[in-house]
Amino acid sequence: MDLSYERGGIGPALVVSLQDDRIRVYTGRKRSRELLFEDIRALRYVATESPQRSDYTLLIEGKGRTIALNFMKNRIAGADPVREAAFNHVVSKTLAAIAAARPELEVCSGRAPLGAALIFLCFVIPAALGMTMGIMLLGERGARQIGLAALGIGIVSLVFAWRARPWKPSESMPAARLAEMFES
C-alpha cells in the first residue's frame, strides 16, 4: 500500500510504501529509505511547539537507520486541515502495519534521552550560576537588587530545568492503540 502526504513546508512530499515485511519511504529524486519490521527497535512520537509552528514526528528506529515521518503546522499562516489529515492517515496506517507485524512494540512519547539531557543542561547551568551569584551578591553592600535579580533568574531556570529533567519516565502505549487515535 502506497500513501503520501505533504510535510507542510519542510521538504518534498513523502511517499510511504507499506509492504508485508517492511516500510519504505521515498524522499524525492528516487531516493528511499527502508526498514524491515523485524529490525525495528523503537518507536517514538515527538511533538514540539513554538510561537510560529508546531512540529510532529514519528521516529521509527532500526538497526543502523531511522525513518522519520514528520509534519510542520505553521501557526502564522494558519491551519491546513487537508495536509494534517493526510499526515495523520499515513501515521495511522504505518503504526497499524507495524503493530500487525510486531504487536509487542510500544510508542514512547517525548524527546530522546540525549536531546532531553542537552535541554536539561541548557537550564540547569544558568540555574546554578544565577543562584550562586544571587547568594553571593545578597551579602554585598549596594548589590542587593542585582543579587535578587540573579536569584530570580536562577529560580526560574531551575523550574524549567526540573520540567525538562531527562530522568522522568516517558509515557508509552501500544502501536495499535496510537494508530486508532490517529485515525480518529
Enclosing H/E stretch for 43: strand 40-49
Identify the pLDDT of residue 12. 78
Inside any domain, residue 169: no
Give me the helix-helix angle, 113-138 and 144-163, nearest 10°. Answer: 160
Specify the number of domains making up the chain. 2
Q: What is the pLDDT of residue 6?
A: 84
Are 142 and 75 contained in the same domain? no
Choose between 1 and 113: higher pLDDT: 1
Residues 41 and 104 in one domain: yes
Task: Answer yes or no: is 180 within a domain.
Answer: no
Residue 58: per-residue pLDDT:
92
Same-domain pairing of 117 and 92: no
Same domain, 21 and 64: yes
Mean pLDDT throughout 23-39?
85
Residues 82, 121, single domain; the answer is no
Task: Report the percent of the chain where pLDDT is more than 70.
Answer: 98
Q: Is residue 101 part of a domain?
A: yes
| Residues 12 and 56 reside in one and the same domain | yes
Same domain, 95 and 152: no
Is residue 9 domain-shared with residue 53, that is, in the same domain?
Answer: yes
Domain assignment present for residue 174? The answer is no
pLDDT of residue 182: 83
Where is the domain boundary, 110, 129, 152? 110
Each residue of 142-176: pLDDT tens digit?
888 999 999 999 999 999 999 888 888 778 889 88
Q: What percent of the chain is predicted at pLDDT more than 90?
A: 41
Judgement on whether residues 137 and 159 belong to the same structural domain of the protein: yes
The CATH number of whichever domain residue 73 belongs to comes to 2.30.29
Give the residue from 54, 62, 113, 117 showing the smallest Cα distance to 87.
54
**pLDDT (0 to 100) of residue 125:** 96
Of residues 124 and 172, more confidence is placed in 124
Q: DSSP letters of 47-104?
A: EEE-SSEEEEEEEEEETTEEEEEEEEEETTT---HHHHHHHHHHHHHHHHHHHHH-TT
- Better pLDDT: 140 or 155: 155
99-112, pLDDT tens digit by residue?
999 999 999 887 77
According to DSSP, residue 111 is labeled: -
More confident residue, 27 or 6: 6
pLDDT range class, residue 80, cuts 50, 70, 90: confident
Cβ–Cβ < 8 Å for 36, 21 = yes
Answer whether residue 183 shows pLDDT above 90: no
Question: Higher model confidence: residue 122 or residue 9?
Answer: 122
**In a domain? residue 173:** no
Task: Give CA separation, 95 vs 18, 45, 130, 155, 164, in Å.
Answer: 10, 11, 45, 41, 27
Task: Give dist(CA 94, CA 85) in Å, integer.
Answer: 14
Quick one: pLDDT at residue 27? 75
- Structural domain including 98 reads 2-110
Residue 172 lies in a domain: no
Grid cell at residue 114:
540525549
Identify whether residues 11 and 51 lie together within a single domain. yes
Let me know whether 46 and 80 are in one domain.
yes
